[in-house]
Structure 1
Amino acid sequence: MKLVYRGSLQRTMIIYFVLIGFASSLVGIEFILDTHSQELRDVLLQNFERLSRNEIQVDEAFQPVRSLRNKAILMVCIVMIVVAIVLMMFIKKITEPLQHMIETARKISAGDLSRTVAISTQNELSELGNVINDLTSNLQELLLLSQDVCTAGRHFIAEVEEIRRHPGMDAADVERLEAGQEALGKKVKMLGKIIQGFEVFRIGK
C-alpha cells in the first residue's frame, strides 16, 4: 500500500535550522538589549560614583555586570538545549531511518530477499523505502519465474532422455539431442545455483 507523503525531507531540514536560528536570534537580541540598555548604564554610573566615594565595595559596584554575565550563560544554555532537542529530532526522523535502509539494502544485496524497509516517517525516506520494497518484490517474482524455468527445463531434459531411447531415432538425432541436453543442463544447473543463493520471502514465516 502506498503512503501519502504529507511532508518532505527538505521542509523538515528547514524547520530544524529555523528553530536553531530563532533561538539564537532571541538570545542575541536579548543580550544586545541588556548591554545597551540605559538602565544598565545608569546603574553602573551610580555604582562607580558610590565606589569613588567609598560607599560600596568593588564587587558590589560590578554586580550588574555579573548579573548580565549569569544571564548570558543561562541564555547560552537555553540555546544548547534547543540544539540538543533539534539534534535528537534529526537523528530520530532522518538518521535512524536512513541507517535502517542502508542495513536492509546491504542484506538484500547479500541475497536475503525476505528483508523489507519499514519507515514510519512520511517524507522522501519513506518513499525511498517503498521503492526498495517494490524492487525486492519484483526481484522475488523474477526468481520465482526462474524457478519455474528450472522446473520446466528439468522436465524437458527428462522427456528428451525418453525420446533418445526411442528405437526409431538415427544417430544424428541422438547426437543433436545429447548436445542440446548437455547445454540446457548446464544452464539449468547454473541458474539453480544462483537461485539457491537467495533467501526468498515466504508468507507466514
Structure 2
Amino acid sequence: MSFASKYSLQRTMIVYFLLIGFASLLVGVEFILETHSEKLEKELLSNLKQYSEGKIESKSVFAPIDRLRKKAILMIAMILVVMVIVLTMFIKNITEPLQHIIELSRKISGGDLSQTITIHAHNELSELGNVINEMSGNIQEITLLSKNLCESGIEIAENILAALHSDKANIEPEIERLKAECESLSQVIQYFDFYTIEHHEP
C-alpha cells in the first residue's frame, strides 16, 4: 500500500485546527467591524435624537444594539457548528481507527494471531495497522517454526531412547540431528533484539 505523505495525519490535524481558527477569526473580525462602524454610531445618535424629540419609543433607541446582539449569537452558533463538524471528522478519521487498532492489538497480545487490522485510509494509522499485521505474521511464523522444532525434538528424543535399548549405532546421527534443530532455533532467536535490565553500580 502506498501512502500520500509520511505526515498526512499531522496535516489533517493542522487542517482541523485551522478550520476552527479561521471560523473564530472570521466571526471576530466581523463583530469588530460591526461595533466600530460609522453606520451603527450614526444610527444610535439618530435614534437618541428622535427619542428626545418624542418621535420613537425607548425600546427603539437600542434597536441597532439588539440587531448586533442577534448577529453575535448567530456568529457564535456558526462557530459551534464548525466545531461540531470538525469534531465529527476527528472522531471518524482518527479516534475510531485508533480505537480499532488498540482493540485488535489487545487481542493479538492475548494470543489471537488470527486478527487482521484494516484501516481504510492513507495516513500513519494505516501504516501502523500494516506494521502490526506484519508483526503478527512474523509471530505466527516463529510460533509454527518453534512448534515444528519441538515436535522434531520429541521425535529425536524418542528415537534416542529406542536406540539405547536396541541399536546404539543410531544414537550419534539422532544427536547430530537434534543439534542441528537446536542451532536452527538459535539462529531464529538471534534475529531478535531483547530488552535488557541495566545494573547501575552504586
For the criterion TM > 0.5, the same-fold answer is yes
Distance across 1 between alignment mates of 2:127 and 2:146: 29
Q: What do you get for the CA RMSD once the two structures are aligned?
A: 1.9
Q: Secondary structure at the match of 1:160?
A: helix
Distance across 2 between alignment mates of 1:167 and 1:86: 78
Check if 1:55 corresponds to 2:52: no
How do 1:26-65 residues align onto structure 2 when only pairs under 5 Å count?
26-65=26-65
Taking a change above 3 Å as real, the CA distance of residues 18 and 165 of structure 1, as seen in their structure-2 partners, is same
Partner residue of 1:4? 2
How do 1:2-151 residues align onto structure 2 when only pairs under 5 Å count?
3-7=1-5, 8-151=8-151
Deviation at 1:161, TM superposition (A): 2.4
- Tell me whether 154-163 or 43-52 shows the greater mean CA deviation: 154-163
Distance across 2 between alignment mates of 1:168 and 1:26: 92
Taking a change above 3 Å as real, the CA distance of residues 168 and 137 of structure 1, as seen in their structure-2 partners, is closer
Taking a change above 3 Å as real, the CA distance of residues 153 and 25 of structure 1, as seen in their structure-2 partners, is same
Q: Secondary structure at the match of 1:121?
A: coil
Taking a change above 3 Å as real, the CA distance of residues 168 and 46 of structure 1, as seen in their structure-2 partners, is closer
Distance across 1 between alignment mates of 2:83 and 2:100: 24
Distance across 2 between alignment mates of 1:136 and 1:91: 27
TM-score normalised by length of structure 1: 0.79
Higher relative contact order (CA 8 A, sep 6+): 1
TM-score normalised by length of structure 2: 0.80
Query: Residues 143-173 of structure 1, C-alpha deviation per residue, up to 9 Å, x if partnerless?
Result: 010111122112112211220211768xxx9
Q: Which runs of 4+ in 1 moved over 4 A?
A: none
Unaligned runs of 5+ in 2: 183-202
Aligned residues: 171
Deviation at 1:25, TM superposition (A): 0.8
Distance across 1 between alignment mates of 2:168 and 2:133: 54
Unaligned runs of 5+ in 1: 185-205
One-letter amino acid of the structure 2 residue matched with residue 63 of structure 1: A
Taking a change above 3 Å as real, the CA distance of residues 160 and 9 of structure 1, as seen in their structure-2 partners, is same
Q: Secondary structure at the match of 1:115?
A: coil
Distance across 2 between alignment mates of 1:6 and 1:92: 19
One-letter amino acid of the structure 1 residue matched with residue 160 of structure 2: V
One-letter amino acid of the structure 1 residue matched with residue 108 of structure 2: I
One-letter amino acid of the structure 1 residue matched with residue 103 of structure 2: E
